Structure 1
Amino acid sequence: MPRATKVFLILYTIVLLLITIHWFSPFYLLNFDQENSLPQLTDEKDVVILSEKNFSHVVANNRYVMVDFCAPWSYYSQQLAPEYALAARQLKGKVMLAKVNAYEERGLKRKYRAQGHPNVYFFAGGVKMDSYTNARKRDAIVKWTKTKIALGVYTITSIEQAEQLLMAQFTTVLAFMDSVQGQDSEELAAASKMNTDVLFYQTTAVDVAKAFQFDQEIKIPALILLEKESQHLSHFYGPFTKYAIANFVSVNKLPPESDDHIDY
């Protein structure tokens, strides 16, 4: 074999060896992973961290809350994190965006049946109302959340939701009806727009009605208001129209000054 050919083969082998060492070196792999993985350094200053210690208090004392049950090792949780943080910044002052490390907070994960990661829930007045399943993008999160807070009236169906509502620190209106659709529901929704500082709910569930002390013989549709400071229940006896309901709420949403509390 000619000398020049031997030299070329030696040099080619050395270059190939150096490339192989560089490619598989731990330092290169680390850099490759960092460049191709999802962002880890996300500004999450507007996202509230929840745990077993503060979850109930935060949810019960904030009108609207989104909670992301996430896992640090989950690809989809990592994918959502930066977009969720951006949405939190945009919704600040309107909706609180929070997160729970479901891998560490197993009790909360079981309690709220957060299967898979991430699992995002929307709470209104302390009540778990819905799950977010749309795109993991800021604009989609913001749009969906604004739609939820604009509803005016929320439908509750379970005793679990009723218990959450009773624990919340908000003045609440609950209507017990034959149907959550139709004229009565429309009148209730219209009344809710006239008292935006009060949370409105509706139900057809007998168990929920019992939790709020609706009489078994009461005529449906029926409505009560729970004033948050005094925990006083006021029963509505007027015509089920938006103006009558709105007037009832306006009068009864403040703490009673005496035993002569006004029920309509």
Structure 2
Amino acid sequence: MLETNTGIERWRIVVVALATIAALPLFLFENPNSTASLTGVAGADTRAVAPSASSPAQTDSYSIESQIDNDKIYTLLNRSEDWHTARASSMTATRLRGVAVKHEEEAIDIARSVSEKEFIEQEKRLKIIFEEEERKRLFDEEDMRRQAVLDNPGPTTTIVATEPDPKGPKKYQWEALKYCESTGNYQAVSPTGNYRGAYQFSVETWNWIAGLYYENLVGVDPAAARPQDQDRMAESLYLLRGRGQWPVCGRYLP
């Protein structure tokens, strides 16, 4: 009986030993902290090593963060672009305002210049119109005077001699005088031959004035003298003797 039990114990030991040997590889691979473990390294950290491949959750999180960063970058880029656009627009507007002010000043100067020129031209036109109307009026007056003399023969009414106007007669007044004396004919000669030219100078009066102011005209026939010489002689005579030198027609001079 004792031998039988001894045999049984031996078999139990063998079975346990075999089972232990069979299970040993599992312990070696499953327990990395084991001194005989194939996955263990001497002196290595015993903590579990994170897998190298990212999990789907980590990938999604990274994508979301990357998208957020991109959105922020795009926002900053848009703000920068808007700022540059606004700054460029402001600079352009400032430059355009400066140009507008400059052109406005130039336009005002031009308008002022044009206005002044137009005013001067208008003054000239009004002066010409006035002188033409006065000339016509004086000519009509002379025609009526002549007609009155023809209709009523008698003593000729003479004008009163006065001091000459320092400014001298106007152009239309001289024309009225010439019209009265000779109808404006610079070669006119009176029926008696004593009065000659547009202003009906006598030879004596002509030579007297010429001797005072224009010696080169002494001895020249008034009716043969140039129109401009006759005009200068008449002006000199007026400034010296006034309108009284023309007893009848001097009425048209100041």
Same fold, judged at TM 0.5 (above) = no
Which structure shows the bigger proportion of residues in strand conformation? 1
Q: Which has the larger radius of gyration?
A: 2
Which structure shows the bigger proportion of residues in helix conformation? 2
In the superposition, the TM-score normalised over structure 2's length comes to 0.28
In the superposition, the TM-score normalised over structure 1's length comes to 0.27
